[in-house]
Amino acid sequence: MNEIVLNVNDLGVRFAGHAGQQVHAVDGLSFALARGRSLGIVGESGSGKSQSVLAMMRLLAPGGQASGTVMFGRTNLLTLPERRLNQLRGNRIAMIFQDPMTALNPYLRVSRQMTEVLVRHLGLTARQARTRAIAALEAVRISDAARRIDMYPHEFSGGMRQRVMIAMALLCEPDVLIADEPTTALDVTVQADILALLRERQQTCGTSIIFITHDLGVVAELCDEVVVMYGGRMMEHAPVHRLFATPEHPYTARLLASVPRMDQRAARLFSIPGQPPDITARQHGCPFVARCSHAKTLCQVQPPPYVTHASGGLACHFPQARSTLEFTGT
């Protein structure tokens, strides 16, 4: 039941910056993903969440260096030769990109882009692939799929294109689906639709999902577990209910506090003061120290170790006592 499909251990992403200095975009990311489960990775812009999944897919921009291990079954994706990797990508591991407007090739019919995957990975004939692709489009509720499949991407709306992307990613019923902010570029009304669809497809295909977002509402709706990232590091990892009910890391607590709530009137929305850390500068202490109201001297000088426990993990010297948790604002 709880078979681990993807095991990420101490994943790091470095970029060669100017004058030979190294920029650590991601540092020490570790988690295990069980079959059929969904994991949310949340964080602000620049927290390294996108870079970590790009590293897992070996899609880092030139100059990016990944370290650690990403075990898919018994193979380490980071050291796999390109040819073997291409047999897995799109087949056993698929990815959905943030902007459906740019993630489809404008010069190719949707049918070509979809059947290419099937012919390549499953060895289907063109005709079989076409039938299957049409079925996949129907599964993401694109009406009149048999006709629409011969259209070009610009003839679809944004929401429809994202459905096409989802259909395409799930064509080979992958074990792992990585979704990098798949709803950010879409209308709010379309967002809910796409999320419902993702969840439905996930359940029918038995796929595990890594869901990257900065929208905590989406996480609550879709994910079983959450990893909170900040400044390229893991702050907290917990089951979604535990995280929302009793966040242990001050950053998580404040992130939750800044979500607008419909049931409470607030004169002013809460926001975390300060700016995310500059990852080009070498950090000594906890990355969140400058913005943390609970910071002590220890936090300034020593980065808190990431400590795992039964249902997740935490990187904080002074975790929030669950009962005394309160937000004092600024």
Partner 1 sequence: MSSLSVTGPGAPGSSAPDSEPVRGMSPLRHACKRFLRHRSAVLSACVLTLIVLACLLGPMMLAYDYDATDWDNLARPPGAVPGHYLGTDELGRDVLVRMLIGARVSLLVGVLGAAASTLIGVAWGATAGFLGGRIDGLMMRVVDMLYAIPYLLIAILIITLLGREFYLVILTITAFSWMDMARVVRGQTLTLRTREFVDAARAMGVPSRRIITRHIIPNLMGLVVVYAAVIVPAVMLVESVLSFLGLGVQEPMTSLGVLVHDGAAVMESLPWLLLAPGLLLSVILLCSNYVGDGLRDAFDPK
Q: Are residues 235 and 256 in contact, defined by beta-carbon separation less than 8 angstroms?
A: no
Considering beta carbons, is residue 45 or 297 the nearer one to partner 1? 45
Q: Of the two residues 99 and 193, which places its CB atom closer to partner 1 in the complex?
A: 99
Rounded CA-CA distance 128/142 in Å is 19
CB of 313 to partner 1, least distance (A): 28
Chain contacts with partner 1 (rule: CB under 8 A): 57, 59, 61-62, 82-83, 85-91, 94-95, 97-99, 102-112, 115-117, 120-121, 126, 130, 146-147, 150-152, 154-155, 165, 168
Q: Which is nearer to partner 1, 80 or 257 (CB)?
A: 80
Decide: 33 and 176 in contact? Cβ < 8 Å: yes
Q: How far is the CB of 174 from partner 1 (least distance, A)?
A: 10
Alpha-carbon distances, residue 326 vs 4, 24, 244, 290, 321 (angstroms): 36, 32, 14, 19, 10
Minimum distance from CB of 219 to partner 1 (Å)? 23
| CB nearer to partner 1: pick between 62 and 260 | 62
Of the pair 60, 272, the CB lying nearest partner 1 is at 60
53: left (phi over 0), alpha (psi -120 to 50) or beta: alpha
Q: Most distant CA pair in the chain: distance in Å?
A: 67
Please say whether the beta carbons of 223 and 240 come within 8 A. yes
Closest approach of Cβ 178 to partner 1, in Å?
Answer: 8
Nearer to partner 1, 16 or 196 (CB): 16
Question: Smallest distance, Å, CB 245 to partner 1?
Answer: 35
Residue with tokens 């943030």: 98
CA nearest neighbour of 10 among 52, 73, 40, 58: 52
Q: Please state the closest distance from residue 95 (CB atom) to partner 1, in A.
A: 4
| Packing angle of the helix pair 188-205, 158-169 (nearest 10 deg) | 10
- Residue closer to partner 1 by CB (options 49, 89) is 89
Integer Cα distance of 247 and 320 in angstroms: 7
Min dist CB 71 to partner 1, Å, is 19
Q: How many CB atoms lie within 10 A of CB 274?
A: 10
